[in-house]
Structure 1
Amino acid sequence: MSFRFNFDIETDGEDVETGGVETTPSVPVEETPDSSRIPAQLHSIHELISKLPPHIAFSPLAIPLTSSKTITIPRRELFDVRMQLMAEDNNPSTDTSQNFSAAFTDEDIRTNTYEGGLKSWECSSDLVKQLATDSEVWMNSSHRILELGCGTALPSCYILQTLLPVSGDQPVHFTLADYNLDVLRLVTLPNLILAYLYATNGLPSMDPSATEGSEETPEIELTSTLISSFLSTLQTHNITISFLSGSWSPAMISLIHGGLEYPSTAEETMHSLLLASETIYSPSSIPEFVDMIEYTLASSGKGYIAAKDVYFGVGGSVKDFVDIMEKKKWKWEIDVDTDID
């Protein structure tokens, strides 16, 4: 296996605002025992579709690739997520997770309860840029794609947007994993649907300058016709998507391998492309993250890990992760992004 490592150099430890993308996670305000960690569960796309709201509001995220080229990815608005949660809280018959309080606070992370998945973090945009730069590397060889700690899933959305216009016979399977099921249903799947609509020209104008200063946020209605079209398009392009919630663990690794006993490195269920951004901010979780990589990424596969050099106040660092990779004799290289405005 091999890695392309992308990380930002921070200036004097200060956070930087970058166009609607969050920077460094703040220190967890609450520690909970390991025994309270959410167990790993596998979810089908049909399960999450059943939890979608009638409509979603979205906005375009513009990610500059070069001075003349910008990548645009539509994503669901956080205020719209909050409105959905309030509506569910007022409807006792709603069969969804209740009281997802992290959506209504300023907390970035609540350890073992919420891991920041509702927000788009800066390194996920960096990872999109790296994928765009390396498209020839992964485009024709990545048939099983795993995004760990996916959250808003910008990298996977970019890949889906890139693959859909291409007529490919080779099947592609996405596995998207986040600690919280609520994150998967509230932002991950909606953003994948938005990526499909963007790739098939099914959205209103996606020119960020066209909506700048406007008080109206574009919405789409998630009709049964739209959902059927989304699913049939995936099927036509031989694309399947599954979702995992819960903690990184032997149980999650087993689910990724279709229930095979841990530890499994069955080549047919290993992944050719592994994506992760902002996943090494907590030193205590790095060993579990490394296990996820070791037992899910094929020996011939490629991993892209985007992270800050140092997570001030939280403790994680690229050095900690690199030290482990060196002990395991994994092949890796680092790309440093010093272009911070």
Structure 2
Amino acid sequence: MDFKFNFDVGDNDTKQKDPLDAKKDKTIISNDCTSKKFPLKSNNVLEVSDIAKCWLSKPDENLYEVDTLEVGQAISLQIVTPCDLTDQDESEKGRTGTTPSDLIPNVYEGGFKVWECTLDVLEYLSRHAEENIFKGKRVMDLGCGVGVLGTYAICSAQAGFVTFQDFNKDVITDATGPTSLLNFKIGHNLDGISTCQETGFQTKDSCKSDDSESANEEILSKATDSLLSDLWKDCKFLSSCKKRVNFMFGDWSDLIDCSNNNKYDVILSSETIYNTAYYSKLHSFLEKFLKRDGVIYMGSKSHYFGVGGGVLAWTEFVKSRDVFEMRTVHVIEANLKRVVLCMKFKSENKM
């Protein structure tokens, strides 16, 4: 599959360009969902109904943006984020941590931004779509942010079930949930009746009618106008989604001890090995939630300045634990090299 992005990914080592800056379409949708009045579940797992109740309970004065992320010639993914992320001044961003680009360890882990290594993983997976990596599988999008990888897995690659996990609850309720469900609604009816083909994202060549391009424009126009608001009231759709997705939030060390004992065939992750201080709990999380015959795909920069993380540091840590085998499956040559890693349990640890 010939796969390329219609936006530039910067090679600057210290400041990366947000791919959403190259959006082709932007629509403002009203609704809000903060976590201040949203009850915490003991196991930190949210269902589709929880996300819907959250949105429906909020007034309309708080606005959200829907940005179009163009992927090559075929895939158009809608990204939902709160408008106030772009309206806050710098001091407010630093105080609250609600900014799409900054990282505040253990407060805000960058979930409102689409990081470039996410796109690297997406590129690799799309090029290997014929291998049916996801078909019928249980998948986790670990450190999901807005949920690009998990949304791809279930919409375009026929995953059986996807769990979206992020550190911040606000990211899950304000961005991941709306983004994933909006794209499901546009490109795939989870009862099995597709808007076009049975696999996923709305594509230029997938509609059966001769007027496929105009059909796409009409569908996306509706999506960026009222579909996001309307889908929360579509009980049949939400019931179907519940069978296919859920959401998990919180620190990895806390989630390891939660009551969720589900195992996953595939775990996807991007930019999660930037801080060596997180390695122990990340490794333990992967060890707990990956099936013994499962696989992990992880995107990373070669090095992250200031916190010491990166491919070499992670490789050495994984070797020291002697649980997983790891190899590089995709390399992106840039000023700061990026890679996609593949991890599996060592054969002696699969029993």
Query: Which of the five TM-score ranges fits, normalised by the shorter chain?
Result: 0.5 to 0.7
Identity of aligned residues (%): 21
1:56-107 deviation digits (Å, cap 9, x = unpaired):
531210134xxxx453211114426678x9xxxxxxxxxxxxxx9333x576
Q: 2: distance between equivalents of 1:173 and 1:248? A: 20
1:307 to partner: Cα distance = 0.9
- 8 Å contact kept, 1:146–1:273: yes
- Alignment of 1:278 with 2:271, yes or no, is yes
The equivalent residue for 2:129 is 135
* Counterpart selection for 1:337 from 314, 332, 341: 332
Q: Distance in 1 between matches of 2:318 and 2:264?
A: 18
The structural deviation recorded for 1:340 is: 7.7
SS in 2 for 1:50: helix
Give the CA deviation at 1:283. Answer: 0.9
Quote the residue 1:308 is aligned against: 301
Counterparts of 2:270 and 2:227, CA distance in 1: 28
1:317 is the counterpart of 2:315: no
Evaluate the alpha carbon distance shift between residue 15 and residue 111 of structure 1 in structure 2; reply closer, same or farther with a 3 A threshold.
closer
Match for residue 96 of structure 2 among 74, 92, 101: 101
Tell me which amino acid in the other structure corresponds to 2:290: L
Deviation at 1:41, TM superposition (A): 1.6
Mark the runs of 5 or more structure 1 residues left unpaired by the alignment.
1-8, 23-38, 86-99, 165-170, 212-216, 258-268
- CA offset at residue 331 of structure 1? 2.3
Unmatched tracts of structure 2, length 5 or more: 1-8, 23-41, 89-94, 189-194, 197-201, 203-213, 337-351
Higher RCO structure (Cα 8 Å, ≥6 apart): 1
Is 1:222–2:229 an aligned residue pair?
yes
Bigger drift between 284-293 and 10-19 goes to 10-19
CA 1:206–1:316 in structure 2 vs 1: closer, same or farther (change >3 Å)? farther
Does the residue aligned with 2:259 lie in a helix, a strand or coil?
Answer: helix
Tell me how far apart the structure 2 counterparts of residues 58 and 13 of structure 1 sit (CA, whole Å): 28
Deviations 1:205-234 (A, max 9, x none): 767xx99xxxxx755342267532432443
1:242 and 2:238 equivalent?
no
1:60 to 1:219, Cα distance in 2 relative to 1, 3 A: farther
Does the CA-based 8 Å contact 1:21-1:120 persist in structure 2? no
TM superposition score normalised by structure 2: 0.66
Question: Which residue does 2:104 correspond to in 1?
Answer: 110
Q: CA separation of 1:57/1:280 partners in 2, compared to 1, >3 Å: closer, same or farther?
A: same
The answer as to whether partners of 2:185 and 2:231 remain within 8 angstroms in 1 is: no
Stretch deviating more after TM superposition (183-192 or 41-50) = 41-50
Q: 1-side partners of 2:333 and 2:324: how far apart?
A: 25
- Please say which of residues 131-140 and 291-300 is displaced more in the overlay: 131-140
Q: 1:107 to 1:291 in 2, by over 3 A?
A: same
The change in CA–CA distance for 1:57 and 1:333 in structure 2 (over 3 A counts) is same
Displacement of 1:323 in angstroms is 1.2
Q: For the aligned residues, what is the CA RMSD?
A: 3.7
Paired position in structure 2 for 1:19? 19
Q: Number of paired residues?
A: 271
